[in-house]
Amino acid sequence: MTTLSPTLELACELIRRASVTPLDEGCQQLMMERLAACGFTVEPMNIEDVDNFWARRGGEGPVLCFAGHTDVVPTGPLEAWQHAPFAAFVDEEGMLRGRGAADMKGSLAAMLVAVERFVADHPLHRGAIAFLITSDEEGPALHGTQAVVERLAKRNERLDWCIVGEPSSTSLVGDMVKNGRRGSLNGHLRVRGVQGHVAYPHLAKNPIHLAAPALAELAGEHWDAGNAFFPPTSFQISNLNSGTGTTNVIPGELNCLFNFRFSTESTVEGLQQRVEAILDKHGLDWQVDWSLSGLPFLTEPGALLDAVSASIREVTGRETVASTSGGTSDGRFIATLGTQVVELGPVNATIHQVNERVLASDLELLTEIYYQTLVRLLAN
């Protein structure tokens, strides 16, 4: 493709900036300049070592926010890539190649170009359009969207609807949108025993043997049945370790990392209490350190989901599926403002992989879907 569309030109320019998390490498400055040029009030929010910005255009009335991130995951081994990961080009098969093409610089380009076009066509649109962009989504996510949302909440900023540009599609652009996500609760369990010689087990307490029945019960527990929007809550052990590295020593401690992906049918406090009751039931000397990655959120059918679904139908001719599957996203922070949140982006088949790529034509469709959604929600 010798001549690139505005969306693909911008996507390539963003991809060529090697913004490996938490770096931004000027991506946000480029976006802010273009938004300011079409009437947005732009507010950089640099928090700790993270670049963020908030931009808003319009007056009173409903606010539609576009949210996303400029940071990308590391490339992995460069020799595994067919082409340089930050070269950014459209190949002979029509694929836009480069780290961030799918996750999520392609979406950022589509959002910005759609908004530029909408503002040119509807300069006196009702309500307001906003952007919330961070460079801390692929990392700890402490000083990015979460921190910006806290500032917006203190200012009583209104956010009615939000489209997050996460790559939600599975096979064809728009075939799936995310209208919620499960919560994520992490635990670090320590079970203490007594170290000793394997030949004298009566003088020791093996924490592996002691913990095994409790871990089996936790793995087999029915936590909830889910509901019409969420699958049942799941418990998974992600790491288990103990021992000194030798065969003749009974270890003194077992460490276990586990995670709950939980539905709205369960609460953080309820899950914690049930885990602790099972550990007590088995008479263990235990300690659990808990960390909450995010609460579950759900956007039920309404103005935003209806507008997005209708726009996908108009542009692609297909019906979209609303799903709460997958991992967490920054939508969990935005939803705390009472905002309807939907994730809509390109096909996610190659995200975080070497040779990340997305169909260039999909970004054109995505731009049009974003534009039509703006029309449905904010055109006079």
Strand arrangement, sheet containing 95-97: 89-90, 95-97, 357-359
- List per-block mean pLDDT (blocks of 10 residues) for the chain, which spans 380 residues: 87 98 97 98 95 97 98 96 95 96 97 98 97 94 94 96 97 96 96 98 98 98 95 96 96 98 96 98 98 92 97 97 90 94 96 96 98 96
pLDDT digit string, tens, across residues 206-230: 999 999 999 999 999 999 999 999 9
Taking the domain 183-294, which CATH number applies? 3.30.70.360
Active site residues: 71, 137
Would the annotation count 103 as a binding residue?
yes
Would the annotation count 9 as a binding residue?
no
Q: What is the DSSP string of 104-123?
A: THHHHHHHHHHHHHHHHH-T
Taking the domain 6-181+296-378, which CATH number applies? 3.40.630.10
Instruction: Give the pLDDT confidence score for residue 132 in this predicted structure.
Output: 98
Q: Which amino acid is at 24?
A: D
Instruction: Give the pLDDT confidence score for residue 292 in this predicted structure.
Output: 94
- Whole-number Å distance between alpha carbons of 32 and 43: 9
In the chain, residues under CATH classification 3.30.70.360 are: 183-294
Q: Please, what is the Cα angle at 174 between 110 and 99, to 5 degrees?
A: 50
In the chain, residues under CATH classification 3.40.630.10 are: 6-181+296-378
β strands within the chain, DSSP E:
41-44, 52-58, 63-69, 89-90, 95-97, 128-134, 161-164, 176-178, 180-181, 183-192, 196-197, 234-242, 249-250, 253-262, 286-294, 297-298, 321-323, 340-343, 357-359
Helix 6-15 vs helix 105-121: angle between axes, to the nearest 10 degrees?
Answer: 140
Which residues on neighbouring strands pair with residue 254, listed in sequence order?
191, 242
Would the annotation count 143 as a binding residue?
no
- Whole-number Å distance between alpha carbons of 51 and 363: 25
Two tokens at 228?
């019409």
280 backbone dihedrals φ, ψ, rounded to 5°:
-65, -40
- pTM score above 0.85: yes
